[in-house]
Amino acid sequence: MALRPPAGGTAEGEVVVAVDVEGEGWEMKPVAASSGAEALDLLRARAEAGDPFELAVLDAQLPDLSGWELARRIHADPSLASTAAVLLTSTGEQRAAARAAGVTGLTKPVRPSRLRCSLLEALEGQR
């Protein structure tokens, strides 16, 4: 399987918050949001449309609410139950706390191979 990062990356202060994963080729269709509130709105809109995102990749430090709070809200929302979450943190302690909270945690910077493994782990945990 090939896991390709989004073309062009993300802008400063922006994080990929949701990824559609299709088929064995891992064709990713990233959707970026500039805030946690916008991310939650995007996630809920897709869930309400019957096409929920499979995966949300969150930064622990978002402009309006923390990635931790966003992960909690995703986890607590029954309409988002099928969305796996990966939280990007800045320390190993935060990574351990993420795991304890039931979220896959990764310490930045992240190697592409580790990101791929973590995304697979998060998706498998949702099935």
Question: Any idea which fold 17-126 has?
Answer: Rossmann fold (3.40.50)
Summarised one tens digit per residue, pLDDT across range 3-16 is: 444 444 444 444 45
Whether pLDDT at 19 is above 60: no
What is the C-alpha to C-alpha distance for residues 48 and 63, in angstroms, rounded to an integer? 25
pLDDT at 127 (0 to 100): 59
Per-residue pLDDT tens over the stretch 21-79? 554 455 677 888 888 899 999 999 999 999 898 888 888 887 788 888 888 889 899 99
3-state helix, strand, coil in the chain (%, to 5): 40, 25, 35
Please report which helix (H) or strand (E) contains residue 86, including its range: strand 84-89
The stretch 82-99 carries a mean pLDDT of: 78
Q: What is the domain partition of the chain in residue ranges? A: 17-126
